[in-house]
Amino acid sequence: MKMRDFGLFALVALLIIGTGFLQSWNSALLILNMGLISAIMALGVNIQWGYAGLFNVGVMGFVALGGLASVLVSMPMTENAWASGGIQIVLGLILGAATVVAAVLVYGRMAAGRPRNLIMLAILIAGFFIFRSVFDAGVEGVEAINPAATGYLGGLNLPILLSWPLGGVLAAGAAWVIGKTALGLRSDYLAIATLGIAEIVIAVMKNEDWLARGVKNVVGLPRPAVVPYEIDLQNSTSFVEAAQGLGMGATTASTLYVKGIYALLFTVVLLILLWLAQTAWNSPWGRMLRAIRDNEVAAEAMGKDVTRRHLQVFILGSAVCGMAGAMMTTLDSQLTPSSYQPLRYTFLIWVMVIVGGSGNNFGAVLGGFLIWFLWVQVEPMGLALMNLITAGMADGYWLKDHLLDSAAHMRLLTMGLVLLLVLRFSPKGLIPER
């Protein structure tokens, strides 16, 4: 880190603190918390892109998987759900997996030719129908249980903090499947495959009600044990007195306190991940990855297994994204599958990495904070700009209404523009790779 980098971080800190003074401390902490999570996502993408040059267009999918993990870990089990279909669902999934494994085994063991193809096809078709018959009955049973409130399997009723690493594991599993198929081929194929998996993860989360209630959303996820509820704080006399000592109302103080605790938790995770990422970057392994990134042919000639290293780093990066996803769902205490938009969860993260400085972990973190700050603050600015432009027009004039309505779409435009401008004129970003 050079002095200039410290300056940049100080600038971002100043922006957030400025928000606290000018707008409210509540919004400053909101920006800080999402900034921390964004920084972790950016770190994950940087591990893939900066270390190895892998282009992941499905960040959204991995983030959503992390969110799913939060529900699966922390929510209470739905009563009777396991008895009335849950076991059948799991059995169905196992049968489905067994079908695929059997087909893969046949493919590996038998000699190539028509018999092999026919047997594989027969296994897959028969397996599919067995899977559907077992699985569908289970789904029906689970979704029938009080669909207005539950209608899903529920979770394991474990502390939600466990979901953070588990979200990483879930995302890593998906990354393994994708990486196994698409890595080792042209670099574009990984991009296309990740684009696909992200769409499918979201489709599954929207449609499989037994899993996490689909578009009916899961709300009211429990908080981590260390984060108190606002209402408890407001009822505790010692807290109210302390708040009054600082000259704050109990309500404001309690929301700030809760957000502050989250910020501390996220900071700890970010620092640990950053330390791990830096250690990896400076290790022989990191140097090897850069060698592969800069010249695959030469690295391969030196005996490096390019595809395996790519797979490794792709899984690691996706796991970090999944972890950030679980943290985000914990912060929101709800899972809303329809809120996952590629613009927000894939593209924005890419802008963070490119602007911050690809190939530099500190750059990615800085980009995470800075771009998130801009993302939050640009919308009111865009609206203000539109108001200014249309100020001269008569009320009800079609162009004025149209421009005011469209101000929301300015974000797509600005982010695209920012990415293209940075790629063209300053491809190294704010804190370049060293």
Please list the residues that pair with 154 across neighbouring strands: 77
The reply on whether position 120 binds another protein by CB under 8 A is: no
Cα distance between residue 174 and residue 190, in whole Å: 13
- Asked if residues 53 and 187 have their Cβ atoms less than 8 Å apart, the reply is yes
The reply on whether position 409 binds another protein by CB under 8 A is: yes
C-beta of 144 vs 413, nearer to another protein: 413
Choose which of 12, 39, 73, 197 interacts with another protein (CB under 8 A).
197
Dihedral angle of Cα 319, 322, 327, 331, to the nearest 10 degrees:
170
Choices 145-153, 230-238, 309-317, 340-348; region in contact with another protein by CB under 8 A: 340-348
Please list the residues that pair with 334 across neighbouring strands: 219
| Strands annotated E in 152-252 | 218-219
The reply on whether position 226 binds another protein by CB under 8 A is: no
C-beta of 17 vs 137, nearer to another protein: 137
The reply on whether position 135 binds another protein by CB under 8 A is: no
- Asked if residues 369 and 38 have their Cβ atoms less than 8 Å apart, the reply is yes
Choose which of 9, 176, 189, 239 interacts with another protein (CB under 8 A).
189
Cα angle value 413/418/420 (rounded, 5°): 95
The reply on whether position 248 binds another protein by CB under 8 A is: no
The reply on whether position 193 binds another protein by CB under 8 A is: yes
- Asked if residues 221 and 329 have their Cβ atoms less than 8 Å apart, the reply is yes
- Distance in Å, CB of 56 to another protein, minimum: 11
Question: How buried is residue 6: exposed, middle or buried, by Cβ count under 10 Å (0-12/13-18/19+)?
Answer: exposed
The reply on whether position 182 binds another protein by CB under 8 A is: yes
- Distance in Å, CB of 110 to another protein, minimum: 15
The reply on whether position 117 binds another protein by CB under 8 A is: no
Q: What are 161's two structure tokens?
A: 């903090």
Site for another protein in 52-111 (CB under 8 A): 53, 55, 57
Choose which of 191, 261, 288, 393 interacts with another protein (CB under 8 A).
191
- Which residue, among 272, 325, 349, 376, has the nearest Cα to 32 in the 3D structure? 376
Cα distance between residue 127 and residue 49, in whole Å: 38
Choose which of 100, 251, 423, 434 interacts with another protein (CB under 8 A).
423
C-beta of 126 vs 226, nearer to another protein: 126
The reply on whether position 209 binds another protein by CB under 8 A is: no
- Which residue, among 427, 272, 291, 434, has the nearest Cα to 360 in the 3D structure? 434
- Which residue, among 176, 169, 167, 170, has the nearest Cα to 313 in the 3D structure? 176
- Asked if residues 45 and 348 have their Cβ atoms less than 8 Å apart, the reply is no
Phi/psi of residue 335, nearest 5 degrees: -120, 115
- Distance in Å, CB of 158 to another protein, minimum: 30
- Distance in Å, CB of 184 to another protein, minimum: 9
Choices 83-91, 161-169, 328-336, 420-428; region in contact with another protein by CB under 8 A: 420-428
The reply on whether position 206 binds another protein by CB under 8 A is: yes
Q: Which positions touch another protein (CB under 8 A)?
A: 53, 55, 57, 128, 132, 181-182, 185-189, 191-193, 195-197, 199-200, 203, 206-207, 342-343, 347, 350, 354, 405-406, 409-417, 419-420, 423-424
